[in-house]
A and B are shown apart, each in its own frame.
Chain A
Amino acid sequence: MDHMAEIRDFLKKLLSSRGDRQPFTDTSSFFLSGRLGSVDAVELVVFLEEQFEIDFSETGFDQSQIDSIEAITSLLQSEKVG
């Protein structure tokens, strides 16, 4: 499974666990739109740390970095994951 698909799958499960079964695209906003919140961000951070070994304590963290699949992909690219 490629990175995008993994992230998409994780976010689909996360949204679903919050009762949100609305569709989303790669540019859909999750946090700024209010679909997901701070603790959901934490779950996503842990997922990215574990799956892609990103260390946010080094890079700094801003919710906008993980606000959409597109944003996450560019974050992974900037960290040169994969």
Chain B
Amino acid sequence: MSVAAPVTPEQFVSQDGGRLANFRLIPRIDTYPRVVAFAQTAAGKIVLLALFGLGLAYSRGQTWWALTLWLVLTTFLPDRRRMLVTIGTLFFTIPVFFLGFTHRQLYIVVLLGSVLVLGATLFWSAAHWPRSWYGRRPVFFFLSGFAVLILFASSIPETTRYYHLVWDFTAILSLYIWFIAYSLLDRKAPDCDPFGLQLGTYLPFWGSTNTPLPKGAAYLRRIEARDAGQLAVTQLKGLKLLVWSILISLFAHLFAQCVHGYLRIPTFAQALSLSVSRTPLPWYTCWASLIAGFFEIIMDFSVWGHRFVACCRMAGFNALRNTYRPLSSRTVAEFFNRFYYYYKELLVDVFFYPTFLRYFKRNGKLRLVAAIFAAACFGNAFYHFVRDLGFIQKLGLVRALVGYQVFVFYCVALATAISISRLRHRGPTPTGFIRGKLWPSFSVGVFYCLLDIFGSTERNYPLTEHFRFLAHLFNVNL
């Protein structure tokens, strides 16, 4: 929940000092005056875009050319940048532009349009009636309404005419709920963007998951490059990050080949499956599977997160990285922040702050713990439950909830650990490499590695099977 340590690379240089800490695999070209000056010229921009396009062609596959074309427009028309972001986002979102009109495509476009009209209505209503019941807490009402919609959808018999229509609408709305939530949070800002510009942040053209990357329109306004110099630095940072993403993806490929091919270590899912079928692998192989899976998740998040943020920077927005050196975290809370920054920010903005600012104001510790549980436990569980709508449709609401027990345990354990991490009395920070850095980082890594045993939202096995696997890691067979 926190940025207990700075997130920007520059600060790490100043903190750690020394040659090793200052070593960069990718040179810090954004700090070289000549390179920055060149990147501000037309020729420099073309070179930057060409290099970036090459990187995208390697890492993004088929859509690289369209994305590069849009980045050319945002680069050479900076005064129209926000409008171009909206147009680009709509262009990339609505697949009929690429695939041609079919009945199915048209049906999806109509549903998508309905969702966006709903978002616009909610935004407009919250802005125009700020003192109303809804206008005071629009995000709360919106998310509650979405939960009611899921209840309604899961109560419709499959044989009903409207069954698929309701579920399809709910599924498309579920893609946008957190984007709409950010728009609703932005409604009170004096410089709040009109809905047309808010739309540019809804699954933006540079790429995003259900979690808005990078946050909403309010954040974009504040990180947008104001002049040619800022744009050059931002784009150079974007290029660096794309190269970094490609390097990590290459390493991840080699890692997987080495671990799962040469060393024949099964994946965590395979190891868990064998444990469930009562033919467990040796405990040390289970550890190897778990640790390999942990590293693979971090690399995977880094690859796509860096790519999205790199494209966002290339479009002229100096966003922070999504994943930043999670393995150097010294506390549980810090890892949560460094591993998936924008998801943590979403939970903080939508669940943590509203709870913290309203409840238990007279008891500082209870206030903090309640807010942490609202975000890391309830918000985390809610986010994943409504994201995986397929399970609710397939299993029914009750069975989907019961099957969710493993991830609920994960959320409770995570929130408890973050609370302890934040409340624990700390004496003087231990100094030295081993006590000050290695041991805390190792402990945090082991905690998240073990927590990952319960991190599945797949609803394949009951909680007891995950505990059985955990016990087996310590050579205890239940």
Which of A's residues lie within 8 Å of B, judged by CB? 18-22, 32-40, 42, 45-46, 49, 56-57, 60-62, 64, 67
A45 touches B3 (CB 8 A): no
A19 touches B6 (CB 8 A): yes
CA distance A40 to B368 in the complex (A): 12
Partner of A34 from the list B2, B6, B188, B333 (CB cut-off 8 Å) is B6
B11 touches A60 (CB 8 A): no
List residues of chain B with CB within 8 A of the CB of A35: 6-8, 11
Q: Count residues of chain B with CB under 8 A from any CB of chain A.
A: 34
List residues of chain B with CB within 8 A of the CB of A57: 357-358
Most buried by B among A35, A38, A42, A49: A38
Residue-wise, chain B 458-478 has the 8 Å CB interface mask toward A (1 for contact) of 000000000000000000000
Binds A, one of B149-157, B228-236, B345-353, B405-413: B345-353
Q: Distance in Å from the Cβ of B345 to the closest Cβ of chain A? A: 7
A40 touches B358 (CB 8 A): no
CA distance A60 to B356 in the complex (A): 12
Q: Is B272 in the interface zone, CB < 8 Å from A? A: no
Q: Distance in Å from the Cβ of B296 to the closest Cβ of chain A? A: 26
B189 touches A18 (CB 8 A): no
List residues of chain B with CB within 8 A of the CB of A64: 189, 218, 222
Chain A residue at minimal CB-CB distance from B338: A37
A38 touches B5 (CB 8 A): no
From residue 314 to 347 of chain B, which have CB atoms closer than 8 A to chain A? 320, 333, 337, 344-345
List residues of chain A with CB within 8 A of the CB of B357: 45, 56-57, 61
Whether A37 contacts B222 in the complex (CB less than 8 A), given A57-B357, A60-B188, A61-B353, comes out as no
B interface, by DSSP: helix, strand, loop or mixed? helix
Q: Distance in Å from the Cβ of B465 to the closest Cβ of chain A? A: 35
List residues of chain B with CB within 8 A of the CB of A38: 1-3, 337, 344-345, 348, 352
Q: Distance in Å from the Cβ of B386 to the closest Cβ of chain A? A: 22
CA distance A69 to B352 in the complex (A): 23
A40 touches B2 (CB 8 A): yes
Identify 15 new A-B residue pairs, CB closer than 8 A, beyond the known A38-B344, A39-B3. Answer: A18-B3, A18-B4, A18-B6, A19-B15, A20-B11, A34-B320, A35-B11, A37-B7, A38-B2, A38-B337, A38-B348, A39-B1, A42-B371, A61-B357, A62-B185
CA distance A57 to B8 in the complex (A): 30
Q: Distance in Å from the Cβ of B308 to the closest Cβ of chain A? A: 17
List residues of chain B with CB within 8 A of the CB of A33: 8
Residue-wise, chain B 4-34 has the 8 Å CB interface mask toward A (1 for contact) of 1111100100110000000000000000000
Whether A37 contacts B15 in the complex (CB less than 8 A), given A32-B222, A57-B357, comes out as no
Q: Distance in Å from the Cβ of B255 to the closest Cβ of chain A? A: 28
Q: Distance in Å from the Cβ of B5 to the closest Cβ of chain A? A: 6
Q: List 22 A-B contacts (CB under 8 A).
A: A18-B4, A18-B5, A18-B6, A21-B14, A32-B219, A33-B8, A35-B6, A35-B7, A37-B3, A38-B348, A39-B2, A39-B422, A42-B356, A42-B371, A45-B357, A61-B353, A61-B357, A62-B188, A62-B189, A64-B189, A64-B218, A64-B222
B364 touches A22 (CB 8 A): no
B189 touches A39 (CB 8 A): no
Q: Distance in Å from the Cβ of A24 to the closest Cβ of chain B? A: 12
Q: Is B281 in the interface zone, CB < 8 Å from A? A: no
Q: Distance in Å from the Cβ of B422 to the closest Cβ of chain A? A: 7
Residue-wise, chain B 203-240 has the 8 Å CB interface mask toward A (1 for contact) of 00000000000000011001100000000000000000
CA distance A32 to B220 in the complex (A): 10
Whether A20 contacts B6 in the complex (CB less than 8 A), given A34-B320, A37-B337, A56-B357, comes out as yes
Q: Distance in Å from the Cβ of B90 to the closest Cβ of chain A? A: 27
List residues of chain A with CB within 8 A of the CB of B14: 21-22
Most buried by A among B3, B4, B358: B3
B2 touches A37 (CB 8 A): yes
Most buried by B among A18, A42, A49: A42
CA distance A34 to B3 in the complex (A): 8
CA distance A21 to B6 in the complex (A): 11
Chain A residue at minimal CB-CB distance from B12: A19
List residues of chain B with CB within 8 A of the CB of A39: 1-4, 333, 422
CA distance A21 to B344 in the complex (A): 26
CA distance A21 to B16 in the complex (A): 12
From residue 355 to 393 of chain B, which have CB atoms closer than 8 A to chain A? 356-358, 361, 364, 368, 371
B422 touches A62 (CB 8 A): no
A40 touches B222 (CB 8 A): no
List residues of chain A with CB within 8 A of the CB of B358: 57
Q: Distance in Å from the Cβ of B188 to the closest Cβ of chain A? A: 5
Q: Distance in Å from the Cβ of A40 to the closest Cβ of chain B? A: 7
A34 touches B356 (CB 8 A): no
B11 touches A22 (CB 8 A): yes
Q: Distance in Å from the Cβ of B381 to the closest Cβ of chain A? A: 19
